[in-house]
Structure 1
């Protein structure tokens, strides 16, 4: 028997995947690995996971017209980073990316889980008609709500894949 799925169910499945990947990643990352820069790259695991959460948060906040989780749940204060309230890593200089230093592995992944939950809660408010609404006509073709939600998850999963790849490196690169 073949089960049919509606678009909302499919989007929720996709939106939940960053938390699933992160749960496996969290068990593999040590505090020493978190802020290391293998190959002297500007983006550490901490930056990749932080940026993943922030890009989901900002884009879902814009769609839902709700305050970001970063602000509403106090993550900005809890992280103690010197950042603007809506800073999320796009266009950061290498020095700015390197300034994202996180010591608390649990806090980093708690933040990601909180923004994924906010996205899932938002998707629960949508109808199939809402998914087809054009939300940005500055592109050709114009961007629909569903296309934006897919791109948010796709970008998040790419960054988490990068972080996962780093955790598989020989630990000598973290020295």
Structure 2
């Protein structure tokens, strides 16, 4: 298997996890804060889509799906254009309230589709391009794409864990 095929397979994995999660994501638990944690299931799903979107947009030079497809307006959250949840303080994280489970998964599907489309434009040589010199060693395009999917899978796993908890009245 070549590297592009491998990255394509990896980029599809969050969609597969999200499909399983969708079957078990009770809408009444979307905005719960299990263990009084600041990140709800809604925040985790929103952030997963946003982190994929922002990073792929940066790599591809394309507009984010968030704005290009109107998700920024559809979600109705008061956010900065490129806000993705990284570094949210407790109050800001708790301000991400989404009651529409379908919208969360639609956004996630759209950003993964954009990621797959972008990967389809790459050659194996493109994967060696250094895209971030702020790390030691510098980050290549291939390494960044791996980390995008890894982060998405971790957050989807956290959301799946929440589905096994009982809803509370406190939210």
**Residue in 2 aligned with 1:19?**
15
Candidates 90, 102, 108, aligned match of 1:106: 102
1:55 equivalent to 2:55? Answer no
Structure 1 runs (4+) greater than 4 angstroms displaced:
172-175
Any residues of structure 2 matched to 1:75-90 within 5 Å, and which?
Answer: 75-90=71-86
- Corresponding residue pairs, total: 171
Tell me the secondary structure at the aligned position of residue 24 of structure 2. coil
Q: TM-score, normalization: structure 1?
A: 0.94
> Is the Cα–Cα contact under 8 Å of residues 47 and 97 in structure 1 kept in the other structure?
yes
1:123 equivalent to 2:119? Answer yes
Instruction: Measure how far apart 1:174 and its partner are.
Output: 6.9
1:86-138 CA distances to partner (integer Å, 9 max, x unpaired)? 10001111111111011111000000000000000000000010011111122
Q: CA RMSD in A?
A: 1.2
**Residue in 2 aligned with 1:43?**
39
Q: TM-score, normalization: structure 2?
A: 0.97
Tell me the secondary structure at the aligned position of residue 27 of structure 1. helix
**Residue in 1 aligned with 2:88?**
92
Instruction: Measure how far apart 1:173 and its partner are.
Output: 7.7
> Is the Cα–Cα contact under 8 Å of residues 58 and 68 in structure 1 kept in the other structure?
yes
